[in-house]
Chain A
Amino acid sequence: MIDWSVKRRGGCRWVWSSALVLCGGLSVGLVSPAAAIARSDSSTNVTAVNRSGNRDRAKWEAYILAAGGVLPASAGLTLAAHKTAAIPAFARKYNLPCSACHTTWPELNSFGQRFKDRGYQLGNDRDSPIWVNPSYIPIAIRTTPGWRMEQTTHQPVDVVPGDGASGTVERTITQSGFDISGADLLMLGTLYKNITFGFVPTIADGEGVGIETAFVRFDNLRRSGWANLKVGKFELDNMLSEKRSMMLSNNGTFYQSYHFVPVGDVTNFGMGDNQIGAEWMGHSDNSYTRFSVAVLSSVDGTPGLPSGKSYDGAFTVSQGFDVGNLGLQRVGLYGFMGRRPTVFETTGGTPIPGTGTGNKSFYRFGAVGDFFLGKLEFLPLVMRASDNKDLAGGTRDATWNSGLLELHYYVNPQLVFTQRSEIIRMSNQADPATPKTLGNIDAFTFGYRWYPIMFSRAGLALVGELSFTKTIGTVPLSGDGVGFAPLTSATAVRSTSLLLALDFAF
């Protein structure tokens, strides 16, 4: 099956899917701007138009791919957009309306944040499963059918369709139609007082089943909110949670900052992806003060032991301030320090999974805020990022900066207007010869979510969203399809996503 949607990083169709497993080693990103045409991995159904570029580099990329079998080599793959949050099973268990825990679901409010921090416990002695109605099953499902339109400019196509030798010309490609997302089965709850579990299988047409989340968490160790240990696969404690993104369109569903890697970079990492490891998390009684420290396998959430013996580390810390009429204001810092192997043991020339060495490092640091002005919420985020030259494929480390500002205007708990503006700017390309602007992104999204009914058993939202991106010399990060880089590295590719959908959780 050819899933020929324009836009890079695909394979996951319109699943909000991390689905690294599913997507296999997808598009390896753009090898070099000179190649001008994107290639993607053969393990998916996407046609690679051209495959040229640095041979050596391609070779060890192939090693990595082969070694992991599933190890994605580019951020494209890591576009993990399963939107796991908003779990009406909890509403059913505790008899609370969606709006008790969510500003508008899926985003958490301060009450929902504490509920989560406590291990999905309210702390009113009704948490232990013995209190639960025997007919209660801790399962919720979220899926989003709808209509969407995707348009991408400067796509290189054959002058004569079907004739690869007829030359290449740039066109704008537009696709539209009704579509369905995959479904997430959200199973989270308490096994016993202070023992929390989470298990989220995802189902997507043609992609089978994946495991988005699977963890056990020991809460309130020694009766302290400061000691909670979580082991398994889970989302990092990002203040700006991508899993709880209010935006769902192909272009808008991602925080570009969380997934961006420079053109030609092989680092497989996304801040928004669920990671595998262990996390120590602590919070004050009201969860105004929060921190987390995590040790993670250097695999960006891919099960198995595909990579090396190294580990990644992540931390988050944030503090909320009660500012009277304005509401709760929160500021936070975060950081991720990762390593990726560049050399594998081989047998008969074939890399052996899990034997990666020659680890090279990358980091993401930044600050994030969550400010309320009454009904208006501001969510700024800034990031400084760097990838080692061996990962970035050049002679010096690649560095870049990014920033975003997301706005939510809550007309009432059942209607929210959203807007996000995001920019990414390269400061150092790994290869000094590469134009400095290559890979830069500008992204803007406008949307609304209307919850015509809101009760304590299920939730439905009507979603309308329009998202624009402009990427220099490459194709936009996107939840699906595979796009192609423009013919020249200075060309700005503009992409538009329009989404009208029903988002429901039940």
Chain B
Amino acid sequence: MRTRLITSLPLLALAVSAMGALSAPVKTAGGVSGTITFTGTPPRMRPIDMSKEPSCASQHPTPVMTETVMAGAGNTVQNVVVYISAGDQAGAAAAQPVRYDQKGCQYVPHVLVMQVGQPLEIYNNDQTSHNIHPLATINPEWNKSQPPGTPPIKATYAKPEFITVKCNVHPWMHGYFAVLATSHYAISGNDGKFSLAGLAPGKYTITAWHEKFGTQSQEVTVSASGTVTANFVFKALPY
């Protein structure tokens, strides 16, 4: 079952980029890939105290850490959304729903990428109530309660936006919806690597977004074949 497969972020990223590649016209095999790193000292991730919600705390033998900046070896950064922000954005929204889970009072995945108009399904796998409160500013902001055992909440977003998601009952729960206009996107894994495939030849602006580090863009020219390299280096401000 597909939803079972997508339990880890790199897998999801691969899956969605594959989907993106599939939906694009398969004329050429141009692409962009790169690695995302940062310089400076990253904010330290802190353990989360879930003692107020025993049903979740019991699922985590060791304390869960915050997921704001997930750094890998060699200062690579995970959870960076890389996408085409100008140039051929390749069309229609994917019809397959994307899945967002609340499990152990955490959002899985931490950053969920979807296309404009793509169906979103939000599941509560916990034995406690959550309220899903995506703090959209361009799209409508809504806030719905989801007690345990209730059907998934379904939604779509009509406009591109990076949306903070929070649960007011469990203030440590923070996640993001990345709603994109393009079908060409990827999310970096723990090794900081990303890859956009299936791009028609031409000029593109590629943007990398990170919840803490912000956004960076660069222009690339994709030829009919071969992969262009585009690396991003974020600067971690000292805190």
Direct A–B touching, Cβ under 8 Å? no
